[in-house]
Chains A and B, each alone.
Chain A
Amino acid sequence: MAAGDVVLRADNLRAHYVLDVPGGQKTVRAVDGVSIAVRRNEIYGIAGESGCGKSTLMKALYAWINRPLRLVEGTVYYTKDGKEFDIYALSKQELRRLRWTFMAYVPQGAMSIFNPVIKIKETYRDFLSSHLKGKTVNEMFEMAKEHIDQLGLPLSILDAYPHQLSGGMRQRVAIALAALLHPSVIFADEPTTALDVVVQRGVVQLLKDIQESLHNTIILVTHDMGIHANIADRLAIMYAGKIIEEGATEEIFKNPLHPYTQFLINSLPQFGDTSERVSAPGQPPSLANLPLGCAFHPRCPMAMPICKERQPEATVSGEHQVACWLHAEGREAEHAAHS
Chain B
Amino acid sequence: MAMSFGSTLKELFRDYRFAVAFILLCLLITLAVMSFFAPHDPTLWYTAPRDLPPSRQHILGTTSRGQDVFWQAAFAIRNSLIISAIAGIVSRVIAVAVGLVAGYQGGKSDRILMFITDGFLVIPLFLIIVMLAMLIRDKMNIFTTGLLLAVFGWAWDARVIRAQVLSLREREFTRTAILSGSRTLELVSKEYMPYITPLAFSTLINNMSWAIGMEMTLSIVGLTNMDIPTLGTMLKWALNYQAILMRRWNWVLTPVMLSVFLFIALYWMSVSISEYLDPRTRVQRVGVE
Query: Which residues of A line the B interface, CB within 8 A?
Result: 62, 64, 96-101, 104-105, 107-108, 110, 112-118, 122, 126-127, 129-131, 161, 163, 174, 177-178
Contact = CB atoms under 8 A, between A and B. Distances in A.
B173 interface: yes
Contacts of A161: 1-2
Contact of A107 (B176, B187, B190, B195): B176
22 contacts: A99-B178, A99-B181, A100-B179, A101-B181, A105-B179, A107-B172, A107-B176, A107-B179, A110-B172, A112-B171, A113-B176, A115-B191, A117-B195, A118-B191, A126-B177, A126-B186, A126-B190, A127-B177, A129-B186, A130-B180, A131-B181, A161-B2
Among B182, B187, B195, find the residue whose CB has the most chain A CB atoms closer than 10 A: B182
B194 interface: yes
A99 B179 contact: yes
B183 interface: yes
Contacts of B10: none
Contacts of B176: 105, 107, 113-114, 174
Contacts of A131: 181
Contacts of B190: 118, 122, 126, 129
A105 B138 CA distance: 60
Contacts of B177: 115, 126-127
Interface residues of B, number: 20
Interface string B157-183: 000000000000001110111111111
B180 A104 contact: yes
Contact of A118 (B179, B187, B194): B194
Contacts of B182: 96, 126-127, 130
Contacts of A64: 175, 179
B190 to A, nearest CB: 5
Interface of B: 1-2, 171-173, 175-183, 186-187, 190-191, 194-195
B173 A96 contact: no
Contacts of B175: 64, 107
Contacts of A98: 181
A112 B183 contact: no
Contacts of A177: 180
Given A99-B181, A107-B175, A117-B194, 16 more contacts: A62-B179, A96-B181, A98-B181, A99-B179, A100-B179, A100-B180, A105-B176, A105-B180, A107-B179, A112-B171, A114-B173, A116-B173, A122-B190, A126-B177, A126-B186, A130-B180
A64 to B, nearest CB: 7
A117 B171 CA distance: 13
Given A107-B175, A112-B171, A99 B1 contact: no
Given A126-B190, A161-B2, A115 B173 contact: yes
B121 to A, nearest CB: 28
Contacts of B181: 96-101, 127, 130-131
A70 to B, nearest CB: 16
A96 B172 contact: no
A68 to B, nearest CB: 14
A127 B180 contact: yes
B1 A96 contact: no
Contacts of A117: 1, 194-195
Contacts of A178: 180
Contacts of A100: 179-181
